[in-house]
Structure 1
Amino acid sequence: MDKVLVVTGGSRGIGRAVSLLAAKRGWRVCLSYVSNRDAAEAVVREIEAGGGTALAVRSDVAVEAEIEDLFRQADGLGTLGGLVNNAGVVDYAARVDEMTGTRLTRMMTTNVVGSFLCAAQAVRRMSTKHGGRGGAIVNLSSVAARLGAPGQYVDYAASKGAIDTFTTGLAVEVAAEGIRVNAVAPGLIETEIHASGGQPDRLVRLGPSVPMKRVGTAEEVAAPIVWLLSDEASYTTGTLVTVSGGR
C-alpha cells in the first residue's frame, strides 16, 4: 500500500477509528484537527507505536487556506491515494423557524463546502487527468439525510443530503480518471458529537429504538470506510453504505 491518506477530523470518534485502522492497513495517515491537539497527537503516537507513519495538522475545513495547507503538508508524506471527508459539525436541537443565518452558514460551510474543497484538492493530486495515479474518496453522510431530523437539526440532515448528491455527482465525474467516490452513512454511533450538540444522553434515549437494540461504535463505521478505500472495492463507486443497525 504505502499511500497517503488524508482524514479530516481525525483526532476523535469515527475519524480517529479510521486513522488507526487505515494505518494498520498500510496507509500513511495525515489527520486534521481543529482544537484538540493532545487528542490528535495521541492518535499519531499510537500509529507510530504500531510501526506506521502519521502526521497531525491543525486545519479547519471551514477555511479554504487551511485546507490548502493540510494537503501541502500531506504531500510531505508521499503520494496521496485517499481522502476521508469526516470533519463535520452539529448544533443544538432547534426547529427550522428558530435557526439563524449564522448557524446555517456555519453548518453548510463546514459540512458541505469543506467537503467540496477537500475533494477538489484530492482530485487535483489523484486524477489521471492531472497526472495522478488514481485513488479513493469516502464522504461521511448520515441516516439523518433520509430521516430529516425534525425538531432537532434539519440543517444538519440537509447538509448530509447534500453530501449524498455530491458523492453521486463526483463519482461519475471522475470515474474515468482513476478515482472512486463513495459515502458511508452512520446511524446512532457512540461519539462525542452528541454532547457537542447539547444532547449527551441522546444515545441512551434513542438506542432502544434501533432494530438491533443498540448504538454502534466508531470502529464499526471505520471498517467499511477503510474497505471502500482499498483495492478490494475497486469496482465500487457512487455507492452509499448505511451503517445504522437497521435504523
Structure 2
Amino acid sequence: MTERSYPTPPFPDQQQDRQPGLTAPMDPQPDHGEKTYKGSGRLAGKVALVTGADSGIGRAVSIAYAREGADVAIAYLNEDDDARETARWVEEAGRRALLLPGDITDRAHCRNLVAKTVEKFGGIDVIVNNAAYQMTYDGLEDISDDEWDKTFSTNIGAMFRIIKAALPHMKPGSAIVNTSSVNADAPNPGLIAYATTKGAIQNFTGGLAQLLAGKGIRANCVAPGPIWTPLIPSTMPPEKVKNFGSQVPMKRAGQPAELAAAYVMLASDESSYTSGATIAVTGGKPII
C-alpha cells in the first residue's frame, strides 16, 4: 500500500463495550498486512510466543513472523474468533500455530504459556510481549486501586513473569521484543495508568538488555504511536475515537501492518548488536 491508501480521521461513530475489543465491528477495518507483507526467510525455523496476538499489532506481527518462517504461539484473553483468524493466516503461510487463551494477570497462566509453547514447538526463540490493557479516565480520583493494579499486572507484571519463565528455554541469539508506547515519553493524562506502565516497560527493557547480554539474549522495545486496533473503540470516548490519530504530524492513525517490519527486524539475527533500544513508530511524533 502507498501512504495515501490508509484512512484518515474523522472515523465513523463506533464504540465497543467489551475490552480489549474485537476486529469485526471496526470501521475502517485495520490492515494487518494480510495482502501486503512479503517474507524473506529472516526468522526461518524460529519459534515465537506473541501475547495479544488475536488482533491489532499482535496479529500483524504473527502474520509477518509466519511469513518470515517462524512458528507462532498465539496468546490472547478470550477473543476466540479473532485468534482463530490469526491462526488461519499463520497456517496459510505454511507455519504452525498454537492458540493459548487466558488471562495474563494470572501468574500460573504466564508460566503455562511458556510450558505449552515449549511442549508444542520444542523451545522459544522470540518473545513478543504485546498484550496491554488501558482505560480512559478524566481524573486520578476516578481510578480505583483495582483498576490501577490490573493495568500494571497486565502490562508490566505479565511481561516479567513470562520472560522469567522462558529464560531457561532461550538460547544465545534469542530475542525479546516488548511493546512500549509513545506514551512512555509523552504521557496522555487521560491514560495515566497505561502511560505509566509504558514508561516502566521501557525502563525494564533497558535493564533487561544489560542483564541478558552475557547470555546472548537481546531485549528491545517498539514504541507505537496511535495505532488503529480494537483497543481504541473499546477503551476511548466517542470523540477520541472519531479523531484518533489526527494529533500526529502524519494526521492519521497508523495501521498494525506498519509496525510489523520493526518487530521482524528486532527478532532477526541481523539485529545481533541491537539491544536496549526503542524503535519509535509514531507517525512523525518524536520521542525523547
Q: Does 1:18 align with 2:61?
A: yes
Whole-Å separation in 2 of the counterparts to 1:82 and 1:200: 37
Aligned equivalents of 1:145, 1:56: Cα separation in 2? 30
- For residue 180 of structure 1, what is the aligned residue in structure 2? 218
In the TM superposition, 1:79-158 aligns within 5 A as 79-126=123-170, 132-150=171-189, 152-158=190-196
**Alpha-carbon contact 1:3-1:78 (below 8 Å) kept:** no
Gaps of at least 5 residues in structure 1 are 127-131
How many residue pairs end up in the alignment? 241
Aligned-pair distance for 1:203? 4.8
Higher fraction of helix? 1
Match of 1:65, SS?
helix
Once the 2 structures are TM-superposed, how far is the Cα of residue 202 of structure 1 from its aligned partner?
2.6
Tell me if the contact between 1:203 and 1:215 (Cα under 8 Å) persists in the aligned partners.
no
Instruction: Return the TM-score normalized by structure 2.
Output: 0.80
Offset at residue 8 of structure 1 (A): 0.5
Percent sequence identity is: 38
The 5 Å alignment of 1:28-39 reads 28-39=71-82
1:196 corresponds to which of 213, 234, 239: 234
Question: Post-superposition shift, 1:206?
Answer: 4.2
> Normalization by structure 1: what TM-score?
0.93
CA distance in 1, matches of 2:105, 2:92: 31
Q: Deviations over 1:216-235 (max 9, x none)?
A: 11011121011100011111
Unaligned runs of 5+ in 2: 1-43
Cα deviations by residue, 1:144-176 (Å, 9 ceiling, x for unpaired): 1111211x1111100000001000000000011
Matches within 5 A, 1:200-239: 201-239=239-277
User: Could you give the per-residue CA deviations for residues 58-90 of structure 1, whole angstroms, max 9, x where no partner exists?
Assistant: 132111111111111111212210000001100
